Amino acid sequence: MDLAGPVPGPVLGIESSCDETAAAVLAPDGAILAETVFSQTEDHARFGGVVPELAARAHLARLPDLVAEVLGRARVAPGDLGGVAATSGPGLIGGLIVGAGYGKGLAMAHRLPFVAVNHLEAHALTPRLPGLLPEGARFPYLLLLLSGGHCQCVAVEGLGRYRRLGTTLDDAVGEAFDKAAKLLGLPWPGGPHLERLAGEGDPSRVPLPRPLMGRAGCDFSFSGLKTAVAQAVAKGGDRADIAAAFQASVAAVVADRARNALLMAPGATALVVSGGVAANTGVRTALAWVAETAGLPLVAPPIRLCTDNAVMVAWAGIERLRGGLTDPWDHAPRPRWPLDELTA
């Protein structure tokens, strides 16, 4: 799997970049020994989105017990760990400070290596987790990172070697799902609710635009599509048909951008989709067709590993530890941390 040195013991991963408090322990070969996630969705739903201060306080209250839980289930003492990996950006700074601070404290107390994980890199390396492919995805591959905060096409050329080919010019795709769902009167988070409603509708009954489709490059734009949804709702259109048309437009645009991105990343061994929107069946189906046409496998994580989780953080830690890459105690969490600023 293009890997270097061994990791001396299991690795603890901590994720606290937004509204999921998560911890996981992975064996050095990537086997999942224990994982857990505490979702704060109910706490933020009444506000229609994540409240950073509430999220940070919840991370602070829950994280110690979650770490103790996964270590106990994995039957691993803190001192027997091979390292601690914690998300250190990008994300909400309060949550990042809690998770990274706790991880550094644990590593320092037990004299363990510490890895400050870039959340985007964790998504990018997830397809290399053993079990998704017989030997994990081999470099290089094309990543479509589709989430509430990010929408990017990235050529993953190696550990710490990421070339961004395109990104959104306005809304991220997950953000567009949430905004469209809100216009349709659906609860937050809107993506899963919109997908269920779309299953009851006919996309052909509501004409919606497909922004940038057919144009060169692989940038994205979703603000115009959101406006078109608002206009369709104002005209009294059937909610299920509007949801179905919105989802069909997004899937078509993502597929079109993926085709262009593959032309910009010759030699890719796989088409990879990751992030929360990777759980959408319409998007997965469209990308499966693109991959099949290109003669490549489509690699998509299990649904539970599409959204924020600590398994991907621990795995990114293992990858970096194998490459001899650790971080100092004074590494500061970063609310913004582009992938192309990473070096290995």
Distance in angstroms (rounded) separating the CA atoms of residues 283 and 288: 9
223 is an annotated ligand-binding site residue? no
280 is an annotated ligand-binding site residue? yes
Distance in angstroms (rounded) separating the CA atoms of residues 73 and 7: 20
Helix axes of 190-198 and 173-183: crossing angle, nearest 10 degrees? 70
State whether residue 176 is helix, strand or coil.
helix
CB atoms within 10 A of CB 331: 16
Distance in angstroms (rounded) separating the CA atoms of residues 272 and 153: 10
308 is an annotated ligand-binding site residue? yes
- The rounded Cα 88 to chain-centroid distance in angstroms is 14
In Å, what is the CA distance from 322 to each residue of 3, 11, 113, 176, 263?
7, 11, 12, 37, 31
195 is an annotated ligand-binding site residue? yes
148 is an annotated ligand-binding site residue? yes
Do the beta carbons of residue 299 and residue 141 sit within 8 Å? yes
72 is an annotated ligand-binding site residue? no
17 is an annotated ligand-binding site residue? no
Do the beta carbons of residue 17 and residue 89 sit within 8 Å? yes
- Comparing CA positions, the residue from 251, 277, 2, 238 lying closest to residue 125 is 2
- Comparing CA positions, the residue from 120, 76, 157 lying closest to residue 312 is 120
267 is an annotated ligand-binding site residue? no
Do the beta carbons of residue 283 and residue 119 sit within 8 Å? no
149 is an annotated ligand-binding site residue? yes
170 is an annotated ligand-binding site residue? no
Three-state SS for 66-106 is: HHHHHHHHHCCCHHHCCEEEEEEECCCHHHHHHHHHHHHHH
Q: Look up residue 223 and give its two tokens.
A: 């603000």
221 is an annotated ligand-binding site residue? no
What are the binding residues for Fe cation?
Answer: 119, 123, 308
What are the binding residues for substrate?
Answer: 145-149, 178, 191, 195, 280
What are the binding residues?
Answer: 119, 123, 145-149, 178, 191, 195, 280, 308
